[in-house]
Structure 1
C-alpha cells in the first residue's frame, strides 16, 4: 500500500469553519435572528469540493495500490453511519411530528433514514435528520469516484465538469440559488450541484495538486468563506450569481491556498475533528431545544458540546482499540 499522505493543516481548519456556517444557517431557520448565515448552505458545496479533492489526493493512490473499491465504500459507510445515527436518534420525536403522528410514513422513513437512505416525508428526503441528505450525496459521489470517475482522463474529466457546470448554472437560475437537495422536488437539480462541486475538487487536485492558485495570508484563507457569506447578507448580494461565484471562484481559491498552511495546531485539529459530528447532529438538537422552549443561545452551545463529546468518546474508543492490539 502507498504511504499515507500528510494531513493539510489549513484544510483541517476550514472544515470546522464550514460546519459552523451550516449550523448558523439552520439556527436561523429554526430560531431566526441569524440572517447573516442565510447563505450557509454553500458550506455544503465546499464540503463536496473538499471531498473530491481529498479523495483524489488520498484514496486514489490507495486504490491504485490494491485497495478494493467495495472495501473502501463499506468502511466509508461505517464511518459515516454511527455519528449520523446519533443525530437520527435525537430526531425521532420530530420525525413523528412531521409524519403527522401516523405509523405510515413514520416507520419506513425511520428505517430508511437510519440506513442513510432517503424516504420522502413532509416534503423532505431525510425528515429524521435533514442534513443527512448531504452525507448521502457525498457517499454517492464517493462511490461514483472509486468505481468510475478515477478512471477518467483529465480531458474527459474536464468535459464532464464543464457540462455539470452548465447544468449548475441552469439550476441556480431556475431555483434562484443553489439551495437544492433536501427536498424530493429538488432531487434532479441536486445531482449537477453535487457532482459539479465534487468534480471541481478532483480537477483541482489533478491540475494543481498542492501548487497554490493564489497565495494568500492564512488569516485571509481561514476567514474568506465567513466574510463572503456574511457579507452577502449585509451587502445585499443574496443572488444566484453570488452562489456560483462562491463555488466556482472562492472555494477552489480557498482550498488551494489552504494547502500552503502547514503549521499544525490543536485548534486546527479540533476544527477538523468536530466538523463531521457537528454537521451530523446539530439540527436535531436545535429542533429539540426549540420544542422544549429554549433559545438558540442554549441550542448552539448544546450542539457544540455534543459534537465535542462525540470527538472525546471516539478518540477514547480508538485509543482502547490501539492498546488492545499491542
Structure 2
C-alpha cells in the first residue's frame, strides 16, 4: 500500500520544480521531454527515504540530470531519423529571464543549437557547471562519473561551445528593433528592406519535422532568404491564407521572437541571430506542430538558474 507523501516533502519538491525544469530543458531542448523528466524526478522523490536526504536541491538535480541523460541518449537515435533540420522546441519566457543577460543567453535558441553538438555527458556537465554553478564534485555525483572525467568533459565542452556559439550577442533593445524591422519588411514583401537587414551569408534553418512542408536543408544567402520571407504576405502557408495570418512579437527563450498564428493555431516561430553590426546571420524557423505546444498555451515560464 502506498503511503501519502507528507505536505512538507511535497513543498520541498515544489520549491525546486522550476529549477528542475530549467535544468532538464537546457539538457533536452524540448519542453515535453523536460516535463517528463521532472515527473520522473517526482516519482523517485516520492518513493525515496527522504529522511536521509541532506541536500534536496542536489539530490533532485541529480535525479533529473540522470533522467535527462537517459532521454538524451535515446533522443540522439530519434534525431538521426528526423526529417530536415532539428531545432529546439521554443518556450514562452517571462521578462525575469530576459533581464538577466547570462541566463537569457544560456537558454537562447542559438545556444541550445550549439549544445546539440555536444555529447550527452558534455552537455550535462556544461549546463550544470557553466549555467547552474554546480561544483565538479557535485556534478560527478549527479552524472555518476569520476571527478576527473567531469573535469575533462567540462574542458572539452567549453572549447566546443566557444568555437561554435555566436561570437556576438546583441543587446535586448537592438534585437527587438531588428526583429520589428524584419517583421515589417517581411509582412510588406519588401525584398530590399530585408536585404538591408540580412548578412550576405545568412543561413535559414527550418524545422517542419516532416509534419509540414519546409526546406529540408539550410537556405543560405541574403537574396534567397529575403525572397523566402518576402513571399509570406502573398502565398498560402500551411493552408492559411495571408489575410488570415497574424504575426506578433513575443518573448521566446529569453529574447524577441516572431509568432505566426492562423485562425485556430500557432503556425510557426522565427528567431533571429545578429552579428556585431546588427545584421541577421541566422534565422531559426520552427514550424513542426509538435514543437509549438509550449508557445500555444500562452503561459510564460521562468527559466532562471536560481
Normalised to the residue count of structure 2, the TM-score between the two structures is: 0.27
Of Structure 1 and Structure 2, which has the larger fraction of its residues in strand?
2
Normalised to the residue count of structure 1, the TM-score between the two structures is: 0.26
Higher RCO (C-alpha under 8 Å, 6+ residues apart): 1
Choose 1 or 2 for highest CA Rg. 2
Of Structure 1 and Structure 2, which has the larger fraction of its residues in helix?
1
